[in-house]
Amino acid sequence: MTKRVPLFINNKLVESDASQAIPVTNPATGEVLSEAPFTTSQEMEKAIADARTAFQTWKNVPVPERSRLMLRYQALLKEHHDELAEILSQETGKVFDDARGDVWRGIEVVEQAANIASQLMGESVENVAPNIDTVSYIQPLGVCAGITPFNFPAMIPLWMFPMAVACGNTFILKPSEQDPHTPIRLAELFREAGAPEGLLQVVHGGKEQVDTLLNHDDIKAVSFVGSVNVGQHVYRTATNNLKRAQCFAGAKNHMVVMPDASKEQVVNNIVGASVGAAGQRCMAISVVILVGEAREWLPDIKEALAAVRPGAWNDTDAAFGPLISPQARERVLSLIQQAKEEGAECLLDGSVCTVDGLPNGNWVGPTLFSGVTPDMTIYKEEVFGPVLCCMEIDNLDEALELVNNSPYGNGTSIFTDSGAVARRYRHEVEVGQVGINVPIPVPLPFFSFTGWKGSFYGDQHAYGKQAVRFYTETKTVTSRWFEGASTKASGPNMTINLK
């Protein structure tokens, strides 16, 4: 009998009573690793109730104690870094170095959460009027929820619950049902770090479980990372229910290559940014815009991409792993075929890709198109696979127009040796995260992850200062004290003299 992934409720691993479950498979082998249960409504209610109860105590825990919990947690995550990466590799197919990076970027956010005290400091002004002072306090919201995708099962949960909990909230995590083992292990380590009961709950499932979180009165804020359609649903449902929501959705990230850039650096960076993690990341470079004479570098890009190959997680020569599922592979293959039919030139075709000894893996090899135009499906849709589109234009004006016309605004980069060109691009481009000679400009967690346009729905972004604002309320107190006066506070059968 296939084992089931447990729930994590009130600091205990709990076997779900659910009758429905979904197989969790190794994308490289097709082997069924376990089943993820669809958490029952009773189990969902218990998880939320336990989180609500825990909040009543946790919100009053001194901020330095919350910081120390995060310090202990980040130390445990570092100690178990490679163990987590191996679990992650087995259920996502990521090569080991990618998996280690996934875990490490999450640890960096936990380190920032350990610095929460300075981020929860309010403001004060003495004598806003004669003998009147005003001070503001930062206070937690209550029970918060996170809905996370398959592609970063360590990093993205760690974007969410450490910051929320450090701010004084409790948290319900609904990870992807495709790779739930990593989040469960994160929860176990959180308990080992000394997290009290009810601070973090982990439930599994699909739309029904997500909608429970979105519609439940006790959930005050929802964080989401995933596809465009689901992101729009989450945002609309949460905000219609008067909840806070931050929803990170689709992307189509462009790299602009100016002719004065270093060709070697450009080519090397394109390879990792386009096919790393099998292209299954919202910050992947999926479109390269070659400006002017840089279009002559297309053969070099093709040669570099042709030299990399996918493989198993423990294959040190493999550049990336398989796609997450057979359905994901079929979707990517369909988009490749459609691009050919719509007139794009396929310079490198990874549609027929095999890996020795792993015939059941969801393999797609590096794929390169030239002659791509904005009306083609391969350009308009987020592919989420190791597919790179090349476009050729004459100048920076055309590049800016092309990027700014995209409905997405997650990330972009420009490679150039000109400071003036770089400054103009970063100033005029309508994208939230910009790299200058940096292909994937994901900010470190003392900044915030700031996608724009159709890549993000909400007001406050992930981690950094914006996460603190998202997970807290501000209370402002204005006070005046009268010198030499006796103040009486009256209640049932009591009079208190304050001197």
Catalytic machinery residues: 282
**Distance in angstroms between the alpha carbons of the first and the last residue of the chain:** 73
- Tokens, residue 332: 């990517």
Collapsed DSSP state (helix, strand, coil) of residue 368: strand
d(CA 60, CA 439): 43
Q: State residue 472 phi and psi, 5-degree precision.
A: -140, 165
Q: Is the distance from CB of 457 to CB of 432 less than 8 angstroms?
A: no
**Residue partners of 296: CB distance under 8 A and separation at least 6:** none
Q: Give the ranges where 321-376 is alpha helix by DSSP (H).
A: 326-341
- Tokens, residue 319: 């550049």
Q: Give the ranges where 431-495 is alpha helix by DSSP (H).
A: 464-470
**Residue partners of 63: CB distance under 8 A and separation at least 6:** 116, 117, 120, 168
Q: Is the distance from CB of 166 to CB of 66 less than 8 angstroms?
A: yes
Residue 33 vs residues 36, 81, 156: alpha-carbon distances, Å: 10, 21, 22
CB count within 10 Å of CB 346 equals 17
Q: State residue 102 phi and psi, 5-degree precision.
A: -55, -50
Crossing angle of helices 228-240 and 207-215, rounded to 10°:
30
d(CA 86, CA 318): 16
- Chain-centre distance of CA 295, in angstroms? 33
> From the DSSP assignment, how many helices (H) and strands (E) are in the chain?
16, 24
Q: State residue 451 phi and psi, 5-degree precision.
A: -65, 155
d(CA 388, CA 365): 11
Beta bridge partners of 473: 139
Candidates 204, 154, 384; CA nearest to 276 is: 384
Candidates 239, 198, 204; CA nearest to 220 is: 239
- Tokens, residue 128: 């806003």
